[in-house]
Chains A and B, each alone.
Chain A
């Protein structure tokens, strides 16, 4: 452990948190000191956000030590954490858009004058003082509506200072900022550090991490890996710690014969989401779509399937074009789409297993327009058998099932349509290890039978282990197309963070 000189403000040791069967944080550990900016890095799903939410009082830890200013604490709400001097600045702050900047800062604790009336003059004066101290120029009387994200973050920081927070956590604050705005934010962060506050900074941009922070803590798979001094390490050193796994036998990808291109996407663009995305997926091929959260991976998939609109470009399946914004047509043409959010998008959780599995194909099951429950049961049963869905009967609802079991129901529902192209967004998110392996084996088998598969995943080992080819998206643009034998964690991560590094170089 490298130690800064300041005193320890926050100390977490072996903190864990599970959501049902899903372990989000195995053993979180971090020590933030006064006068220091501490970076917290890790891949998507490494447990950073869960850790932050525990400190912020959003979640309560299951086990482990949580010390703030040397005292054992246990926050049951965000209000308790705020009172204790913790401030969290999120990527996109939530403000009251119709209230003024000042009213937002003093929300819930407005200074009162005579007769318990709100003392507006004092509020404005204090806001001006705060902004002057931060060196920013925002009119305290203007409404929060229309402020840039950067200014909104400054507002949150001003609020934190007025509350005299000892610990500021910034969760990917720079993701939506321009270069100048980042510089201003960093200047503010440094001045806060020099005032003797402790800061934790979460970012995927290594240039920022190295430019701003003095200490770096790396997390992987919900566990603490190491804490190092920024001066004593390099980008490569950090990346290898973040990835650090052997990609191997877990992923039973068997080489498949590649056929004709099934899906062709050309010049697909949607304002603000993705730009000029072109790629193809061949029969028997698994194409992995990698990138950081917010890079536009799911958005591309949703546009291809037609649940979302797109502004320009074409989608072609087996040589004929697929109409825009029309999921029914896409399904009819042979596209299956397993979305990332099972409970909200993938399933009707309150409907029975049989109805869910037969959900897409039911139109074809009816005879003379008549559809009975037994028709659905008959159609659903072979798929439930094939995927070994764990349920006592086909009329049980999917609501109480485990994530893995629900995912099997979603996969069954789409395989029942006998698709040409399967788009699967986060195939194994929140699924136990056993089911994960089953899903991977199934995907490999389907590709072997000649299905084209586009797989989006935030788990790098999954992408590297399963994909014949890896496409990397960064901020809505394709930045790499890497064949299986050349794909390494390092070059995928680099492509996923590419534009940031180029911009700063």
Chain B
């Protein structure tokens, strides 16, 4: 039978599908920087490097998880760092008021959830642009945080809890908190890549209208994602407070931009619809490793920022250039394939401009 077609599931073998991706490039770069630093940067292979690296990157890693999902839908949440600050202040204030740390933390999580719900409601149901909404709530939540605690700081947290935030797993250099990060990473990876809900997230990012026509509940999906971002940011805030033993209104100011930078570096398109979670995790770690290595080399924060900023710009530009190359080659292939009347028109257009 010549008319029956075989429909292979994939156009390329598995190794090719994995190798030639943006995510693999980020992972490769991460490994390259890691090995270079281990061999060439003094003290980089010391026992504390990896511990502090992971401790420092934990808030960014945590928030990058829901942020990835939000950016894949084509939205953005700039208020995450303010939620970190608010939850930090709440833990501090409630601790001062005599609450236990778990109880204070739980309330902070609930408040984080509500903060996310407000963002999500305004974006999904009122239909406002997320950029504008979360610029507003960025100021609102930060204002609440500073308003609650003023300029002072709460620092007298019980050692039992502050130690727990930095404790390592047995004799390894890995902090215990990394287990929490790993569990959440797996949960979010499943949600994004292995559920119908996750497929809806990509559909919304690629074509919201088609998603709606396909029966994806666009509004509810967005609301859920913003709520997840809120609650995870609150969790990051609790960690932040205990790790540094300090609750302040200005904790984690500007963290949102570091999170977004890492997400974009990890291969997520700011226009939505593209990106995978393992790339984002590699992106966060790449920034962390690079910063750690440069710091050990004695570079100042400014130099580190310049280098990371350049890396981000190069990575974004390279994707655009790559897209453009692929599009023009595809277009050329199409022109050749279709009716010959197209070609003269195209040539004429080029000739005129």
Contact = CB atoms under 8 A, between A and B. Distances in A.
B348 interface: yes
B210 A345 contact: yes
B284 to A, nearest CB: 25
A394 B206 contact: no
B20 interface: no
Interface in B165-219: 190, 194-196, 198-199, 202-203, 206-207, 209-215, 217
Given A388-B3, A392-B11, A346 B210 contact: yes
Contact of B213 (A346, A362, A392): A346
A351 B203 contact: yes
A355 B211 CA distance: 12
A366 B198 CA distance: 12
Contacts of A16: 341
Given A76-B349, A385-B5, A331 B341 contact: no
Contacts of A60: 345, 348-349
B344 A384 contact: no
B151 interface: no
Interface in A388-431: 388-396, 400, 413
B206 A350 contact: yes
B210 A396 contact: no
A327 B212 contact: yes
A97 interface: no
Contacts of B5: 384-385, 388, 390
A362 B194 CA distance: 11
Contacts of A360: 214-215
B211 A348 contact: yes
B209 A345 contact: yes
B207 A395 contact: no
A393 B11 contact: yes
Interface stretch (A155-163, A228-236, A369-377, A467-475): A369-377
A348 B203 contact: yes
Interface in B333-348: 334, 338-339, 341-342, 344-345, 348
A344 B212 CA distance: 11
B258 to A, nearest CB: 29
A392 to B, nearest CB: 6
Given A307-B213, A345-B209, A350-B206, A393 B10 contact: yes
B348 A74 contact: yes
A403 to B, nearest CB: 12
Interface string B303-339: 0000000000000000000000000001000100011
A372 B341 contact: no
A62 to B, nearest CB: 4
A273 to B, nearest CB: 18
Contact of B8 (A20, A339, A394): A394
A448 interface: no
Given A371-B195, A385-B7, A388-B3, A20 B215 contact: no
Given A63-B341, A76-B352, A393 B202 contact: no
Contacts of A385: 4-5, 7
A62 B9 contact: no
B273 interface: yes
A141 interface: no
A328 interface: yes
B7 A394 contact: yes
Contacts, number: 115
A361 B35 CA distance: 46
A481 B196 CA distance: 42
B196 A391 contact: no
A179 interface: no
A339 B213 contact: yes
A344 B207 contact: yes
Contact of A307 (B11, B212, B334, B341): B212
A111 interface: no
A363 interface: yes
A351 B202 contact: yes
A484 interface: no
Given A21-B339, A370-B194, A344 B202 contact: no
A191 interface: no
A392 B6 CA distance: 8
Contact of B195 (A359, A369, A373, A384): A369
Contacts of A388: 3, 5
Nearest to A414: B214
Interface in B4-62: 4-5, 7-11
B215 A400 contact: no
B350 to A, nearest CB: 11
Given A307-B213, A346-B213, A393 B8 contact: yes
Contacts of A20: 334, 338-339, 342
Contact of A359 (B4, B203, B342, B349): B203
A62 B209 contact: no
A395 to B, nearest CB: 5
A347 B7 CA distance: 20
A395 B199 contact: no
Interface in B202-250: 202-203, 206-207, 209-215, 217
B213 A345 contact: yes
B209 A344 contact: yes
Contacts of A443: none
B95 to A, nearest CB: 37
Contacts of A346: 210, 213
A348 B339 contact: no
Contacts of A488: none
A331 B8 contact: no
A384 B213 CA distance: 20
A214 B172 CA distance: 93
A381 interface: yes
A74 B214 CA distance: 43
Nearest to A21: B338
Given A327-B215, A331-B215, A400 B330 contact: yes
Contacts of B210: 344-348
Contact of A384 (B7, B194, B203): B7
Given A359-B199, A362-B196, A62 B8 contact: no
A2 interface: no
A91 interface: no
A148 interface: no
B215 A373 contact: no
Interface string A353-368: 0110001101101100
A501 interface: no
Sorted nearest first, the 7 A-B pairs with minimum C-beta distance are A393-B11, A62-B341, A377-B9, A363-B196, A362-B196, A331-B215, A393-B8
18 contacts: A20-B342, A60-B345, A348-B202, A348-B203, A349-B207, A350-B207, A351-B206, A354-B9, A360-B215, A366-B196, A371-B195, A371-B199, A377-B9, A389-B7, A391-B7, A393-B8, A394-B8, A395-B9
Given A351-B206, A371-B198, 19 more contacts: A18-B342, A76-B349, A327-B212, A328-B217, A331-B215, A348-B202, A348-B203, A349-B206, A351-B202, A351-B203, A359-B203, A360-B214, A365-B196, A366-B196, A371-B195, A372-B194, A385-B7, A395-B9, A413-B214
Interface of A: 16, 18, 20-21, 60-63, 74, 76, 307, 327-328, 331, 337, 339, 344-351, 354-355, 359-360, 362-363, 365-366, 369-374, 377, 381, 384-385, 388-396, 400, 413
